[in-house]
Amino acid sequence: MRRRVFATAAILAGLTGAGSIPAFALADGGDPGHRHDDRGSHGKHQEDGDDDALFVQTNKAEGNTIKVYDRDEDGRLAPAGEYETGGLGGFTIGAPVDALASQGSLTFHDGLLFALNAGSNTVTVFRVDGTKLHRLQVVWSGGLLPVSVDVRDDLVYVLNAGGEGSVQGFELHKGQLSPIKDANRSLGLHNGNPPNFMTAPAQVEIDPEGEFVLVSTKAANVMFSYEIGRDGQLSRHPVISDAGNTPFGFTFDTEDTLLVTESGSNEVSRFELEKDGELDQIGPSVPNGQQAPCWIQRVGDYFFVANAGSSTISSYKVDEDGKLVLVEAVAADTGGGSIDMTTSDGFLYVQNAAAGNVQGYEVGKDGSLELVTEVKGLPRFENGIGMEGIAAS
């Protein structure tokens, strides 16, 4: 059902890596005296404060910022400040509601927050102290229009959507990113900069065992799997697998199986990640009857999908027989162009770009969603640009 392909297709011309890259532009932020003691864990941690927070990236073209909200034990949000990233927001061409057309442009990991400045091709690293942010570094992303970032232990990989598209690997040490030699790989997509939202790659993620970096491509209908070398280098050529109709967001449900949204056919599929990096589909794709399911977030045993075209959230689960099933086609009606999501402490937070708000839902034991909080006044999607990126501590 799925094919294993190496770099021969026309859309993948130029797949060979870029080799070593030029010296990275590096600028310490306004708090150079603070450095983070990286503990190498993948769990939630607050170094200096015990306040739980939600972070929303405004992606403003004139100057990207992070809005911070305090989260109480009932999941409710209260404004707690706004911080400049030192970079610019950006956009893809023709996006209907999601400026970056991606999942994971803002990521929290072990007391650090990683923000992507798509308009200035940089990554900002903040140290998180409760609801306060301290900017540590602004570093070149290794390509054009960075749209997705993932972190595992001391490795960070950034997906750049502009031009040919690329993945750049970094080593993380005490709150600082250093580019890894031989960890920059072209996707060979031959886009412009900015790219069209459909031809731009959507997400980068490291598998749970830390063996592969995966990238979804949308219009190419494939996913790339790069093997991670001993020091974070990436294999020269990826394994390329068919991944359905316009694969967008994805998340793992076990160490070697993952769920992928097929935004072109309004379905979700489940795949097994083989030892060689190939993806094999498990069972049929499962439709939800909604429009443009792009983002997916796991909360406990349930997987929630944001449907941008119908402004709804659908819920899925994997049953005892390993079969992917639709639980509720409409678990929530957000009414605002739902895009990226995050979770913490049993709550699901949804970014609604058309409405300019974030909604928080308590997730019930049966996967039901109960609205518990809403914050307004965030940048609405207008004239091709708007907020994108959400994370929680």
Q: Would you say residue 18 has pLDDT above 60? A: no
Q: Would you say residue 91 has pLDDT above 60? A: yes
Average pLDDT estimate for 226-245: 97
Average pLDDT estimate for 102-120: 98
Lowest mean pLDDT among 40-49, 51-60, 267-276: 40-49
- pLDDT above 70 covers a percentage of the chain that reads 87
Average pLDDT estimate for 71-98: 98
Burial of residue 118 (CB within 10 Å: 0-12, 13-18, 19+) is: buried
60 vs 333: CA distance, rounded Å: 27
C-alpha torsion angle, residues 242, 248, 254, 257 (rounded to 10): -10
Instruction: Count other Cβ atoms within 10 Å, centred on residue 177.
Output: 27
Q: Would you say residue 37 has pLDDT above 50? A: no
* Domain 4-392 superfamily per CATH: YVTN repeat-like/Quinoprotein amine dehydrogenase (2.130.10.10)
Burial of residue 321 (CB within 10 Å: 0-12, 13-18, 19+) is: exposed
Domain ranges of the chain: 4-392
Q: Between vectors from CA 230 to CA 164 and to CA 174, what angle results, nearest 5°?
A: 85
Specify the pTM. 0.89
13 vs 6: CA distance, rounded Å: 11
Question: In this predicted structure, what is the pLDDT of residue 5?
Answer: 40
Encode pLDDT of 292-308 as tens digits.
Answer: 999 999 999 999 999 99
Q: What is the DSSP letter of 228?
A: B
Per-position DSSP letters for 147-194, written without gaps between them: EEEEEETTEEEEEE-STT-EEEEEEEETTEEEEEEEEEEE------SS
Q: 140: which residues sit within 8 A by CB, 6+ positions away?
A: 24, 25, 26, 121, 122, 123
Encode pLDDT of 113-165 as tens digits.
Answer: 999 999 999 999 999 999 999 999 999 999 999 999 999 999 999 999 999 99
Question: In this predicted structure, what is the pLDDT of residue 51?
Answer: 80
Q: Would you say residue 102 has pLDDT above 90? A: yes
209 vs 204: CA distance, rounded Å: 15
Question: In this predicted structure, what is the pLDDT of residue 50?
Answer: 59
- pLDDT above 90 covers a percentage of the chain that reads 87
**What is the SS3 assignment for 10?**
helix
